[in-house]
A and B are shown apart, each in its own frame.
Chain A
Amino acid sequence: MRQTYGKQLPAMTLSGLAGKLIVIEGTDGAGRTTQINQLKQWLEELGHAVLDTGMTRSRLAGEGIHRAKEGNNLGHVTQSLFYATDFIDRLENEIIPALRAGFIVLTDRYIYSLMARATVRGMDPSWLRSIYSVALRPDAIFYLRIGLDQLLPRVVFSRGFNYWESGMDLFPGHDMYDSFCMYQTALLAEFDRLSEEYHFETIDASADAETVCKHLKARILEALGPPAPQAVALPIYLDLMETLDERLAGILTPGRDIAEEQPPQDMPVALHAPIAQPLRETGLL
């Protein structure tokens, strides 16, 4: 059965979370977004239902965080807790229901980025571990590792310096370049510590995107294990995948526990839950 890092939230049932939770970690500019887009398409072609999620995308706190970051008065404790709120909202309302419905959840960063950012801002590491003790242990954590020297041109030459990516809230009075170097160096060091503690699978992200993707695919196939009989791609299922994405929002309504609704007895064997249920939810069955 799936486990958390220690504590369980009220009403959180850990049994029946049939899907896979795959984390892609890495600092800004490591190429996470590019990889996730490709992986999602690839996994869907293989016949898996995929949910991708990432920081500040929660319905509850996403917008609030963006608004708070527009000003210059977001304290470090407040910032850490605002991100924790966003994370837990997505954990309860997106990640867990999707896992219950048998999806592969591809998450663009997880608790590790949140802890790294908060730690370099002076938050107590044991405080952060207590807060995130309610997070689910993923099936695989891939860390796209890159050095500062390779990171600099990627970030700076493509989109210029950004206040938060440069950690300007930590190093006011420095210029963006110096601040960027100090901040990202601190983050990379923290990621190395986390990598040992949480057993990241490190991928050399300084290679070209195609090579990185090839490595990731091989490792993800290992993490997924042999396909279950009901996960073998059915022609009808592949057709449905195209429209499934648009309907995801409809399935993953907060508080819905898809697994607890029993599938009807006359369901064809090949379309057994967990795949059948989300499809019925969308009205496609």
Chain B
Amino acid sequence: MEITSNFHIGPFEILYPLKPSVPFNQYDGKNIFPGRLFVVEGIDGSGKSTQLSLLHKWLESKGYGVVFSEWNSSPLVKDTTKLGKKKKLLTPATFSLIHATDFADRTERSILPLLKAGAVVLCDRYVYTAFARDVARGMDREWVRDLYAFAAKPTVAFYFRVPLETAIGRLLGARDGFKYYEAGLDLGLTDDAEDSFRLFQGRILEEYEKMIPEFGLVVIDATLPVEVQQAQMRQIAGKHLESAKNLRTRP
């Protein structure tokens, strides 16, 4: 049976998802993205968000156009994630996919266009968070990496390395308890939230350690004083901005 048609497909753009092996500023060989992408990674309680907000202030004071994007914050997707968490509908696979959907929306809507426009984009958690958490939940390592093949490769990915007990000590002082998925209670390792958190975050730490050489994460010792960590971050980020004076919103 022949499919008959008098119509021809018009020329429309094929935008294959970006491959992580291709640096984002060369991904199609034509468009060079002028922006910069700095991301922070680490377990809860590693102090990465504090460090990123200090970097943000510094970059702004230098006159750069800075935009911040947070994990799990897409307006299109977050209601679904919330529903899944509240009703405990998420399995390791759907947990992984709904977070990838959220990340895709932020990538398509803001991260890529902003990099094209020449902004400095800061991300609190990036694809490495998914790689660590999803694999700790039992997802196939390669499958999760493939899933995020559309992501832009960061200019620098900072990893805030902290011993588990230090992180837990910081968290226990600061909040009432651990949430269901955050503590990995969905895995049924143990019923006790704090024990489960400890086991689950331990697995996540192992995954982060493996990713340091795999993705060239820049390790910051998160047990050092805040000021020392920030000075290191600024020095490293500064190097990648030397050739980017034109990204400043003012001279």
Residues 240-267 of A contacting B (Cβ, < 8 Å): 254-255
CB neighbours (8 Å) of A204 from chain B are: 1
Given contacts A181-B5, A192-B3, contact A170 B12 (CB under 8 A): yes
Q: Is the CB of A74 within 8 A of B76?
A: yes
Check B164 for interface membership: any CB of A closer than 8 A: no
Which secondary structure characterizes the binding site on chain B? loop
Contact, CB under 8 Å: B14 / A122: yes
Q: Are B92 and A10 in contact (CB under 8 A)?
A: yes
Contact (Cβ within 8 A) B15 A61: no
Q: Is the CB of A75 within 8 A of B105?
A: yes
Contact with A along B79-105 (1 / 0, CB 8 A): 110011000011111100110110011
Contact A171 B12 (CB under 8 A): yes
Q: How many A-B residue pairs have CB under 8 A?
A: 154
Comparing A109-117, A123-131, A221-229, the segment that makes contact with chain B is: A123-131
> 0/1 per residue, B99-140, Cβ < 8 Å to A?
011001101110000000000000000000000000001111
Is the beta-carbon distance between B16 and A185 smaller than 8 angstroms?
Answer: no
**B191 sits at the interface (CB 8 A):** no
Chain A residues within 8 Å of chain B by Cβ, number: 56
User: CA of A120 to CA of B61 in the docked complex: distance in angstroms?
Assistant: 45
> Is the beta-carbon distance between B16 and A122 smaller than 8 angstroms?
yes
Provide the bound-state CA to CA distance between A148 and B79, in Å.
37
A284 at the interface (CB under 8 A from B): no
- Interface contact A75-B104, CB-CB below 8 Å: yes
Whether A235 is near chain B, meaning CB under 8 Å from some CB there, is no
Cβ of A270 within 8 Å of any chain B Cβ, yes or no, is no
Please tell me if the beta carbons of B3 and A10 are within 8 angstroms of each other in the complex.
Answer: no
- A116 shortest CB reach to chain B, Å: 14
Tell yes or no: A88 within 8 A of B by CB: yes
State the CA gap A257–B6 with chains docked (Å).
51
User: Which of these, B10, B16, B104, contacts A171 with CB under 8 Å?
Assistant: B10
* Contact assessment for A145 and B101 in the assembled complex, using a CB-CB cutoff below 8 Å: no
Kindly state the separation between the CA atoms of A50 and B139 in the bound complex, as whole angstroms: 30
Q: Is the CB of A75 within 8 A of B109?
A: yes
B7 to chain A, nearest CB (A): 4
Q: Which residues of A sit under 8 angstroms from B4, Cβ to Cβ?
A: 147-149
Q: Looking at the complex, which one of B3, B13, B94, B108 makes contact with A77 (CB distance below 8 Å)?
A: B108
Cα–Cα, bound, A10→B91 (Å): 9
**Nearest CB on A from B17, distance (A):** 5
CB pair B138–A10 under 8 Å, yes or no, is yes
Bound-state Cα–Cα, A85 to B74, Å: 15
Interface size on B, residues (CB 8 A): 47
CA–CA, A100 and B102, complex, Å: 32
A92 in contact (CB, < 8 A): yes
Closest chain-A Cβ to B6's Cβ sits at a distance in Å of 8
B8: interface (CB < 8 Å): yes
Docked Cα-Cα span, A174 to B149, in Å, equals: 31
- The answer to whether B108 and A76 have CB atoms under 8 Å apart is yes
Other-chain contact of B5, A123, A127, A134, A148 (Cβ < 8 Å): A148
Separation of A59 and B98 alpha carbons in the complex (Å): 13
Question: In chain A, residues 73-95, which have Cβ atoms closer than 8 Å to a Cβ of chain B?
Answer: 73-78, 80-82, 84-85, 88-89, 92-93
Judging by beta carbons under 8 Å apart, are A78 and B16 in contact?
no
B residues near A76, Cβ cutoff 8 Å: 15, 108
Chain B residues whose C-beta falls within 8 Å of the C-beta of A74 in the assembled complex: 76
Pick the interface stretch among A37-45, A64-72, A154-162, A271-279.
A64-72
Q: Is the CB of A82 within 8 A of B94?
A: no
Q: Does A78 contact B108, Cβ atoms closer than 8 Å?
A: yes
- The answer to whether A9 and B89 touch across the interface, beta carbons within 8 angstroms, is no
Q: Within the complex, what minimum Cβ distance (angstroms) separates A2 from chain B?
A: 17
A46-73 to B contact mask, C-beta < 8 Å, 1/0 = 0000000000000111011001100101
Cα A241 to Cα B107 with chains together (Å): 48
B8, B12, B13, B97: most-surrounded residue (chain A CB, <10 A): B97
* Bound-complex Cα distance A74 to B43 (A): 31
In whole angstroms, how far apart are the Cα atoms of A68 and B10 in the complex?
27
Cβ–Cβ contact B104 & A78, under 8 A: yes
Partner of B94, one of A63, A80, A85: A85
Can you give 13 A-B contacts (C-beta < 8 A)? A9-B91, A60-B80, A60-B90, A64-B80, A64-B83, A82-B80, A93-B91, A148-B7, A149-B4, A182-B7, A182-B12, A202-B1, A254-B91
Residues of B within 8 A of A (CB): 1-10, 12-17, 74, 76-77, 79-80, 83-84, 89-94, 97-98, 100-101, 104-105, 107-109, 137-140, 143, 146-147, 149-150
- Give 10 closest A-B pairs by Cβ, nearest first: A75-B108, A10-B138, A64-B80, A130-B146, A85-B97, A81-B101, A181-B7, A124-B16, A78-B104, A77-B104
